[in-house]
Amino acid sequence: MSARLVVPSMLRSCAGGAREVEVSGATLRAVLDDLAVRLPVLERRIRDERGVLRPHVLVFVDGVMVREDLDAPVRAGTEVLIAPAVSGG
Amino acid sequence: MAGAIVLVGTRKGLVVARSDEGRRSWTVDPMQFANMEVSAVGIDQRRTPARIFAGVGAGHWGPRLSYSDDLCQTWTETEEAAIAFPEHTGAALARIWQIQPSLSEPDVVYAGVEPHALFRSEDGGLSFSLVEGLWQHPHRTTWTPGGGGACLHTVLTRADDPQWALVAMSAAGVYRTADGGASWEPANQGIQAVWLPEDQRFPEFGQCVHKVAMHPDRPSRLYAQNHFGVYRSDDGGDSWDAIENGLPSTFGFAMVVHPQQPNTVFGFPLEADGNRVPPEARCRVYRSEDGGDSWVGLSAGLPADPYYAAVLRDAMCTDGADPAGFYFGTRLGEVFGSVDDGDSWQTVVTHLPDVLMVRAAVLP
């Protein structure tokens, strides 16, 4: 099934400038695995090589933040939004 | 002689300065990798044009390695991650600390990273593999991080022996291989770990080495700046002796050898670990011309007292040319250069974010 991954502005260069990327998968993990095939540079901005979400990356699935739960279900038309946490210096 | 290029990795981006032939007049490019920590820069002069590497910490988005084949006009990141820990390690790349082309193998490039690990590329730096011999070392699980992290920050190779390499790690110490990386032995005999109980200050490993430097034509002689302690080895690291006469402090980070004079070495002492400023707040480079047996402070052209900024372990370098240029950058975002072996210094660029790394070359 196909979902929409919304790319934050500072990562759009990793997606050819696209604001959204079409991804497939029944869970957030599967969606990110699919992204790793389609756009590996973008995917590794979000997860490290172990498949762990980077500590200051936020992921919202249809508006609900799923910080640790990579098994969160994804349905057709789901919006997966990637955002940087308010952190840094 | 062509002009020099000086690459300044800062906490918030990369700054490239380019000089005239005299290396006294500089133009500075706009900052690149904006808002990203440029923790490592490497210049592979075996290629024409030189290949330049940048280890970049992209904040929220993790570390990465980029390279440029047009002297920093454009940058490329490989589709697959150039440096990534294999799955069996359970580790993830936290920071790139060092990028070092081999002196003996044409397409080999080494990368030192955090957590403590060495990576090796055999395709000119496009893809790297973990050096398993070091990762599997039985000491590794007992290595502790230094204040800057669990970093492998120094990689030295020899032109005459591709099987030999030396790495330095905080706070694990110096390790060497003589079999191309398959096995590694600690090489810290004579180096103190001053924070340990008095009767335990010379351990086999666990020293907090900050930098090791070597002249490529005299690989048996090594210089080391430690977390308190400046040392020389005349036997390739088998043993070390203190070389501290004339230094205002034995604490510091940087250590650079003159490219034409193996007995001439430069450092930038700091007061102490608990007070990381120049001694007496005086901005001074210290130079020895006798292998560290004596040192003299150099300040002509450097900022007036008081000066409270440190020079980090990779923020001092030479361009390797003849005559040599020397450069260093401070945590106040100032970079200085000398073309007379440190007797006098000129400003290269100022008003930068704090400087993490400086690398330079004179390119055709």
Which residue in chain B is spatially nearest to A15 when comparing CA positions?
Answer: B79
Instruction: Tell me the chain A residues in contact with residue B33 when contact means C-beta distances shorter than 8 Å.
Output: none
Residue A38 has pLDDT above 90, yes or no: yes
Chain A, window 54-73: residues with a beta carbon less than 8 angstroms from a chain B beta carbon: 54, 56-57
Q: Render pLDDT for B58-97 as a digit per residue (tens, 0 to 9).
A: 889 999 999 999 999 999 999 999 999 999 999 999 999 9
Q: Given an 8 Å threshold on Cβ–Cβ distance, is A49 in contact with B85?
A: yes
Residues 6+ apart with CB under 8 A from B275: none
Which residue in chain A is spatially nearest to B89 when comparing CA positions?
Answer: A50
Instruction: Tell me the chain B residues in contact with residue A50 when contact means C-beta distances shorter than 8 Å.
Output: 85, 87, 90-92
Q: Given an 8 Å threshold on Cβ–Cβ distance, is B81 in contact with A88?
A: no
Q: Given an 8 Å threshold on Cβ–Cβ distance, is A52 in contact with B81?
A: no
Which residue in chain A is spatially nearest to B66 when comparing CA positions?
Answer: A41
Which of B35, B60, B130 to substitute to test the interface with A, most A CBs within 10 Å? B60
Q: What is the DSSP letter of A71?
A: T
Q: Render pLDDT for B133-147 as a digit per residue (tens, 0 to 9).
A: 999 999 999 999 988
Which residue in chain A is spatially nearest to B81 when comparing CA positions?
Answer: A41
Q: Does B61 reach chain A within 8 Å, measured CB to CB?
A: yes
- CB contacts < 8 A (A, B): 43
Q: Given an 8 Å threshold on Cβ–Cβ distance, is A54 in contact with B62?
A: yes
Q: Given an 8 Å threshold on Cβ–Cβ distance, is A48 in contact with B87?
A: no
Q: What is the 3-state secondary structure (H, E, C) of chain B?
A: CCCEEEEEEECCEEEEEEECCCCCCEEECCCECCCCEEEEEEEECCCCCCEEEEEEECHHHCEEEEEECCCCCCCECCCCCCCCCCHHHCCCCCEEEEEEECCCCCCCEEEEEECCEEEEECCCCCCEEECHHHHCCCCHHHCCCECCECEEEEEEEECCEEEEEEEEEECCEEEEECCCCCCCEECCCCCCCCCCCHHHCCCCCCCCEEEEEEECCEEEEEEEEECCCEEEECCCCCCCEECCCCCCCCEEEEEEECCCCCCCEEEEEECECCECCCHHHCCCEEEECCCCCCCEEECCCCCCCCCCCCCCCECEEECCCCCCCEEEECCCCCEEEECCCCCCCEEEECCCCCEEEEEEEECC
Which of A10, A49, A57 to substitute to test the interface with B, most B CBs within 10 Å? A49
Q: Given an 8 Å threshold on Cβ–Cβ distance, is B77 in contact with A41?
A: yes
What confidence score (pLDDT) does residue A86 get? Answer: 83
Instruction: Tell me the chain B residues in contact with residue A16 when contact means C-beta distances shorter than 8 Å.
Output: none
Q: Given an 8 Å threshold on Cβ–Cβ distance, is B61 in contact with A46?
A: yes
Instruction: Tell me the chain B residues in contact with residue A41 when contact means C-beta distances shorter than 8 Å.
Output: 77, 79
Residue A89 has pLDDT above 90, yes or no: no
Instruction: Tell me the chain A residues in contact with residue B91 when contact means C-beta distances shorter than 8 Å.
Output: 50
- In order along its 364 residues, chain B shows pLDDT tens digits of 689 999 999 999 999 999 999 999 999 999 999 999 999 999 999 999 999 999 999 889 999 999 999 999 999 999 999 999 999 999 999 999 999 999 999 999 999 999 999 999 999 999 999 999 999 999 999 999 988 899 999 999 999 999 999 999 999 999 999 999 999 999 999 999 999 999 999 999 999 999 999 999 999 999 999 999 999 999 999 999 999 999 999 999 999 999 999 999 999 999 999 999 999 999 999 999 999 999 999 999 999 999 999 999 999 999 999 999 999 999 999 999 999 999 999 999 999 999 999 999 998 8
What confidence score (pLDDT) does residue A88 get? Answer: 64
Q: Does B92 reach chain A within 8 Å, measured CB to CB?
A: yes
Residue A7 has pLDDT above 70, yes or no: yes
Name residue, tokens 């073309």: B339
Which of A50, A59, A67 to substitute to test the interface with B, most B CBs within 10 Å? A50
Q: Given an 8 Å threshold on Cβ–Cβ distance, is B60 in contact with A56?
A: yes
Closest CB to A50 among B60, B80, B92:
B92
Instruction: Tell me the chain B residues in contact with residue A54 when contact means C-beta distances shorter than 8 Å.
Output: 60-62
What confidence score (pLDDT) does residue B364 get? Answer: 81
